[in-house]
A and B are shown apart, each in its own frame.
Chain A
């Protein structure tokens, strides 16, 4: 299985900037994980002991809002990484994640990967350089969504630029 995971890690564009050795090391901490449609991957506040590279399917990040159920914040598809709360203490998930359809992923053992990062700073730096653009990209997307770009002016408390009267 480790060989299979190694091949799959090597085939993923997300890991393209890692060296062969670094990819092989990362693959040693990876296993295949499958989720049925509707199956919860992790819950808000749970221990962030893994992260996943989604190979097929789709995952919804959600947040439980009292009285309004689980609200989907973002969906993630194949080729994208799920989870970064494992990178920093307190190593707990800030959101939940649920499989929207049958989903296949490579799951990585977070504690083991952190140990490798501590033992090999070059590996740790390379991994951080993988995750930083991902985090930046999602932060930018979130900021843009905060602007509520598609809202009508009245929906965001602005006056229309149209003349009020002719």
Chain B
């Protein structure tokens, strides 16, 4: 680092380089392999997160993973006093975090990366398209828009999941519906008890009857899902610079220092994860090295 002559601004921040410890206040099982952890009581907190930004969460003695915030939290005094993270158990670290009981300690570094910039959609329709656990980073977009409802036009939430049992926040989806959010849900594989839509999430776009000239779109899910969704939204007429996607790469340092998350000219931990589709489109079809 010093041999390059400069410390990156993000690393100069202690909260970016050194984990702060938060206590697990609650643990809610969203699906069979996914939980939402509420983290509180930091002795020294990290700065407040914006929707779309991510933290590096540490499972002590095991490792660290990047996880986006999934709630608005409590940001009094500019500090993240309460954080929510929804995570899926897929590897050693997330399995440990998934199993973390209330009262246990979890390390937090951050906030990192770019946010959704929900504010920029003021006066326009908010179109949110989520695939799988991609709904987690988008939940703060819904909550932000609902918290200041009069500033936004329609709020359209289109959700795709693998199976009905993999759907996140099912109780909140109903509440959001009651609050005026236009929610449509589809699954790839239905079970016998499912009475909703079956098919790819892109099939929900046309029936939503979007006003493309007055919409800002927020898309999160697997890369391929985002690419096809963003193309479909652009096909409906939403300008590509008003379609935002959240890229997920191999974020390690979170501070644009290690280069693990480089994607073309971007270091995703700094220049992403949220990127306009006008920049992201060409990068999303680049074969990884």
Contacts and interface: CB of A to CB of B under 8 A. Distances in A.
Contacts of A152: 33, 88-90
B72 interface: no
Nearest to A74: B199
B173 interface: no
A12 interface: no
A151 to B, nearest CB: 6
Contact of B92 (A75, A78, A147, A166): A166
Contacts of B200: 141, 144-145
B162 interface: yes
Interface string B188-207: 10101011111110110011
Interface string A30-62: 000000000000000000000000000010100
B33 to A, nearest CB: 6
A151 B221 CA distance: 11
B115 interface: no
A150 B166 contact: yes
A149 B88 contact: no
Q: Number of contact residues on A: which range applies?
A: 20 to 34
Contact of A147 (B63, B65, B224): B224
Interface in A82-125: 100
A71 B190 contact: yes
B88 to A, nearest CB: 6
Nearest to A145: B188
B199 A141 contact: yes
A148 interface: yes
Interface string B107-134: 0000000000000000000000001110
A83 B107 CA distance: 55
Given A77-B207, A148-B188, A149-B224, A60 B198 contact: yes
Contacts of B203: 74, 141
B94 interface: yes
Contact of A144 (B92, B162, B224): B224
Contacts of B133: 150
A72 B91 contact: no
A3 interface: no
Nearest to A142: B200
B250 interface: yes
Contacts of B197: 58, 75, 77
Most buried by A among B63, B131, B198, B222: B198
Given A73-B198, A150-B162, A163-B63, 4 more contacts: A141-B199, A160-B90, A162-B90, A162-B94
Interface of B: 33, 61-65, 88-94, 131-133, 160-162, 166, 186, 188, 190, 192, 194-200, 202-203, 206-207, 221-222, 224-225, 228, 250
